[in-house]
Amino acid sequence: MQNNKEWQTAYSVIEQLEQAGFEAVIVGGAVRDALLNRPAHDVDVATNALPEEVKSVFQRTVDIGIQHGTVLVIVPAGPVEVTTYRTDGEYTDHRRPDKVQFVRSLQDDLQRRDFTMNAIAMRHDGTFVDYYGGRQDIELRVIRAVGDADKRFAEDALRMLRAIRFSAQLDFTIAKDTMTAIQNRAPDIAFIAKERIKAELDKLWLGTSVFSGLQKLEESGLAAYLHGNFQAHRWYDFRTEDKHVGWAYFALLQGANWREILRDYRLSNKEMAFVKAVLTAYEALNSGWTNIHYFTYKEQELEAAIYFAKLLQLDVCLPSQPIRVLQDQLPIQQKQEVVVNGADLLKWSGKKGGPWVKEVLGDILEAIIHNELENDQERIKNWLDCHYFHEA
């Protein structure tokens, strides 16, 4: 797994820094995921070289966060984030350090990190630097704050939600003292921007044990300070590989005011549209889907609605064939395939334009989709003469 492009690119950057006389290691989630035999896509490098020293070693760099010591190094194999070892100052806003101080000590740098499993460094030769017992905690499958848990969460309150998210994502427990600190600090989550909270919930929905994660969200007290009802017991068998499905299920459990709650989490218009489509399709299951539903909604939206019906054990009639098969059997796949338009209706009817044109086009579309009308211009004209224009 460490032979993939991202790892090899990071190793090449480390080699160049070492050749220039500096220390450099891989840090953070990539090391944790390597120990868990999970794929890591962001392989970041930390070094005792100051930002300007890093820039002097490489021909191409971009200052993406140089005030916090981060330089994007661009080598032929790709870009790598390189961050100078640092310690953090006070976190007066519970979100970010007021200032950082660059240091030459790897141990000092690792000490500022959130959890022991994320405070392990790996050298180019494959050896580990683990001052805080991170490897042992990974073996025990436990999430433990580095040092004083209360202090870690006072620094950045989002770390509390990250602990919950990691527990769902990795199916880990949370160390007792770490959970106690979260319970004590839970109100501080109010300091965190909704966009950052959403990013954590995005990942929580994808966890291997969402139910367990939401149980811990309730146990920790954090749920009381987050908008919406998380209802852990209703997530017992929930699994998805798509965060949007997670948000749709969360919305379903909120009832009528789901829009207000999801907007508070800053979902995009596209995400909101997906949620609305899934919930509308889900409601339509009560009366049974027809061709118009298979035409109107995307396969993913319908599959999500079926999944929710099964999770909640609804007594509804589910499709007897795969969604894709039913959609492929439709007479047309999109509105643009209809062979008549508004101009045709005006020409044939002799009427002035108005809302009726859109209504009649909708009726034509539905008749075609339900195999009541062939998508042929002459047949559609005759159908209109019979059903509409003769009334003029």
Q: Looking at residues 268-287, what average pLDDT do you find?
A: 97
pLDDT grade for 97, boundaries at 50, 70 and 90: low
Stated pTM of the model: 0.89
Phi, psi of 64 (to 5 degrees): -100, -15
CATH of domain 140-227: 1.10.110.30
Q: Are 82 and 97 in contact (CB under 8 A)?
A: no
Q: Are 120 and 109 in contact (CB under 8 A)?
A: no
Check if CATH label 1.20.1440 holds for domain 239-329.
Answer: no
Per-residue pLDDT at 66: 85
Residues 102-117 have pLDDT tens digits of: 999 999 999 999 999 9
pLDDT grade for 100, boundaries at 50, 70 and 90: confident
Per-residue pLDDT at 387: 83
Residues 288-315 have pLDDT tens digits of: 999 999 999 999 999 999 999 999 999 9
pLDDT grade for 95, boundaries at 50, 70 and 90: low
Reference 265, options 229, 232, 227, 221; nearest CA is 227
Per-residue pLDDT at 222: 98
CATH topology of domain 1-133: Beta Polymerase; domain 2 (3.30.460)
| Residue list for the binding site | 29, 32, 42, 44, 113, 156, 159, 162, 165
pLDDT grade for 392, boundaries at 50, 70 and 90: very low
Reference 190, options 115, 93, 89; nearest CA is 93
Tell me what the pLDDT averaged over the chain comes to.
Answer: 93
Q: Are 205 and 168 in contact (CB under 8 A)?
A: no
| Residue list for the binding site for Mg(2+) | 42, 44
For residue 1, pLDDT over 60 is answered with: no
Is there a common fold for 1-133 and 239-329? no
For residue 265, pLDDT over 90 is answered with: yes
Q: Name the residue type at position 118.
A: N
How far apart, in whole angstroms, are the C-alpha atoms of residue 392 and residue 377?
A: 21
For residue 154, pLDDT over 70 is answered with: yes
Per-residue pLDDT at 93: 58
CATH topology of domain 337-387: Serum Albumin; Chain A, Domain 1 (1.10.246)
| Residue list for the binding site for CTP | 29, 32, 113, 156, 159, 162, 165
Provide the pairing of β-strand 100-102 with 86-88. antiparallel
| Residue list for the binding site for ATP | 29, 32, 113, 156, 159, 162, 165
Residues 188-213 have pLDDT tens digits of: 999 999 999 999 999 999 999 999 99
Residues 313-370 have pLDDT tens digits of: 999 989 989 999 999 999 999 999 999 999 999 999 888 989 999 999 999 999 999 9
How far apart, in whole angstroms, are the C-alpha atoms of residue 18 and residue 78?
A: 19
- The structural domains of the chain, with segments of one domain joined by +, span 1-133, 140-227, 239-329, 337-387
